[in-house]
Amino acid sequence: MTVMLPLFCTSIYAYADNSELEYRVKSAFLFNFTKFIEWPVAEIPRSEFVMCVAGNPQLHNKLIETVGTKQNNGKPIQFTIIKHPGEAQYCQMVFLGFPERERLGDWIGAMSDLAVLTVSDEQDFINLGGMIQFVIIDGKIRFDINQSAANRSSIKMSSKLLGLARNVN
Partner 1 sequence: MEKCDWKVISKFGKNAGLSGLSALAVFVSAVSSSYAANTEPVMLARVDDLASLSLESLMNIDVVSVSKRSEPLQQSPAAVFVLDSSAIIRSGVKSIPEALRLIPGLQVARLDSHTYAITARGFNSTVADKLEVLMDGRSLYTPLYSGVFWDAQDTLMEDIDRIEVIRGPGASLWGANAVNGVVNIVTKAAAKTQGGVEQIGGGGEYKGFAAWRYGGEVGELGHYRVYAKTTHYNAQEIAGAGDASDARNNDQLGFRTDLRLNDSDTLSLQGDLYKGRIANPLSNMDESTSGHNVIARWKRRYDDNSDTEIQFYYDQISRDETRTFSEDRNIYDVEVKHRFAVGERQHFVLGGGYHTTDDNIESLNPAVLKFVPAERKDETLDFFIQDQIALIENKLHLTLGAKYENNDYTGDEFQPSARFSYILNERNTAWGAVSRAVRIPNRLDHTLDIYNGALVGDESFSSEEVVAYELGYRAILSSILSTDIAIFYNEYDELRAFSGTFGVPQPEPIRIVNDGAGRTQGLELTVRWEPLPEIKVLASYVYQDMDVAAKFGSKDTNIAKNDENDPNNQFNLRVDWDVAESVSVQTRARWVDGLDDVGVKAYSALDITAIWRVSKSVELSLLGTNLLDPQHAEFSGGKEISRSLTGQFTWHF
When asked if residue 112 is in the footprint of partner 1 (CB under 8 A), the reply is no
Minimum CB separation of residue 64 from partner 1 in Å reads 9
Binders of partner 1 among residues 72 to 111 (CB under 8 A) are: 84, 100-103, 106
Q: What is the gyration radius of the CA atoms in the chain, in angstroms? A: 15
Residue 125 CB partners (closer than 8 Å, separation 6+): 96, 104, 118, 133
When asked if residue 135 is in the footprint of partner 1 (CB under 8 A), the reply is no
The one among 21, 41, 42, 44 contacting partner 1 by CB under 8 A: 21
The one among 89, 136, 148, 154 contacting partner 1 by CB under 8 A: 136
**Identity of the residue, 28 or 115, whose beta carbon is nearer to partner 1 in the bound complex:** 28
When asked if residue 43 is in the footprint of partner 1 (CB under 8 A), the reply is no
Task: Dihedral sign for Cα 138, 140, 141, 146, please.
Answer: negative
Under a CB-based contact definition with an 8 Å cutoff, are residues 145 and 168 in contact?
yes
**Identity of the residue, 12 or 42, whose beta carbon is nearer to partner 1 in the bound complex:** 12
Residue 141 CB partners (closer than 8 Å, separation 6+): 22, 25, 26, 29, 134, 135
Degrees to nearest 5, angle at CA 52 with 48 and 56: 155
The one among 46, 70, 152, 156 contacting partner 1 by CB under 8 A: 70
Under a CB-based contact definition with an 8 Å cutoff, are residues 141 and 26 in contact?
yes
Residues engaged in binding partner 1 (CB under 8 A): 4-5, 7-10, 12-22, 24-25, 27-29, 31-32, 36, 57, 65-68, 70, 84, 100-103, 106, 136, 138-142, 161, 164
